[in-house]
Amino acid sequence: MHNSAAEINGLSIVVPVYNEVNAALPEIRNILKVMDGLDCPCELIVVDDGSQDGTADLLRQAKEPFTLVASETNCGYGASLKKGIRQAQYSIIAITDADGTYPNEEIPALLEQMRDADMVVGARTGDKVHIPLIRRPAKWVLNKLANYLSNADIPDLNSGLRLFRKEIAERYFHILPSRFSFTTTITLAMFADGYRVRYHSIDYHKREGSSKIKPADAIGFFILILRTITYFSPLRTFVPLFLVLASLGGAKLIYDVFVLQNITDTTTFIMMSALQVILIGVVADLIVRRGEMS
């Protein structure tokens, strides 16, 4: 368990923007109003990720006090966040979206909880949560998988409204993806490494415009969860797979001996596969543990 200092010397709010010509500026103004009510130094960093709908020009011409980081091409949500985090001058980072979905007036409540936490996440578990029905089944399955593999209770795996310590996020930059899975990865990584993660219930509004996440992205999130947990705790992935193969091989062995009275090549293959899986898992776990000690 990590125990980071409770000091809050300032807040840097990072907002990635991509093709949000109708929502970006009103949302920026809302965030600036929230910042005015905080009793610590603040800055707003807006990262335009190569918008093609006029958003970039709108942000360049805006008179509001924020720092604009512009990309000529679309690099991805995660890449935009990392650009903004690198630019930040304060130790606490807040990330949110510019599409009107997150209640940014909750940022002060999240900031207060950062005094004894390493990350505070706005969990979309409030009374008014607008998540399209088509995304809910996949979201539920992925969340249950993440809970099991991380051995943690995660109310919201990939909420885009959260605060965390800059120094901790930078430690994970080498594994944080450039696309939408940034939030999923940092959640799993911080749980795996024993950081103090808190959740604060929030509402989630209907977005302006169309979502950048598609239903087919669920497969990518599934692979990402497996890869991230395997990176930090390999046995959480390899042991269940070993047990499945060993059980299947054991049942097939009993059938071969008592019914066929001959051990088949299929049974041998399954049992050898189970042995290889657990051996790979053990070696991977040893590599991870050695890395932690070095």
254 SS3 class: helix
Task: Report the chain's mean pLDDT, rounded to a whole number.
Answer: 88
132 lies in the same domain as 277:
no
Pair 175, 254 in one domain: no
**CA atoms within a 13 Å half-sphere pointing along the CA-CB vector of 75:** 18
3-state class of 2 per DSSP? coil
Q: Are residues 27 and 109 in the same domain?
A: yes
Residue 5 resides in a domain: no
84 plus 200 within the same structural domain: yes
pLDDT of amino acid 2: 65
Whether residue 78 is contained in a domain is answered as: yes
HEC string for 3-36: CCCCCCCCEEEEEEECCCCCCHHHHHHHHHHHHH
Task: Look at the chain and report how many structural domains it folds into.
Answer: 2
Tell me if 248 is assigned to some domain.
yes
Is residue 245 within 8 Å of 205, Cβ to Cβ? Answer: no
Burial class (CB within 10 angstroms; exposed 0-12, middle 13-18, buried 19+) of 190: buried
Domain range spanning residue 288?
235-293
Whether residue 140 lies inside any domain: the answer is yes
Residue reference for tokens 């059938």? 255
Contact 122, 202 (CB under 8 A): yes
Evaluate whether residue 153 is within a structural domain.
Answer: yes
Tell me: do 263 and 213 sit in the same domain: no
Q: Is residue 103 part of a domain?
A: yes
What is residue 7's predicted lDDT score, i.e. its pLDDT? 67
What pLDDT digit, counting tens, does each position of 191-201 carry? 988 999 999 99
Query: Would 203 be classed as within a structural domain?
Result: yes
Which pLDDT value is given to residue 149?
72
What is the model's pLDDT at position 272? 96
Domain annotation covers residue 170 = yes
Q: What is the pLDDT of residue 140?
A: 77
- Residue 12 is predicted with a pLDDT of 97
Write down the pLDDT at residue 30: 95
Per-residue H/E/C for 86-103: HHCCCCEEEECCCCCCCC
CATH code, domain with 151: 3.90.550.10
How many secondary structure helices (H) and strands (E) does the chain include? 10, 7
21 and 143 in a single domain? The answer is yes
Judge if 171 and 188 occupy the same domain. yes
| Residues lower than pLDDT 50 in the chain | 4-5
Same domain? 251 vs 196 = no
Regarding whether 245 and 228 lie in a shared domain, the answer is no
pLDDT tens digits for range 139-182 = 777 788 788 777 888 999 889 999 999 999 999 999 998 877 89
Of the residues 180, 199, 232, which one is the last residue of a structural domain? 232
Neighbours of 129 (CB within 10 A): 14
* 215 and 86 both lie in a single domain: yes
- Whether residues 286 and 180 fall in one domain: no
Q: Are residues 139 and 120 in the same domain?
A: yes
The pLDDT value recorded for residue 6 is 56
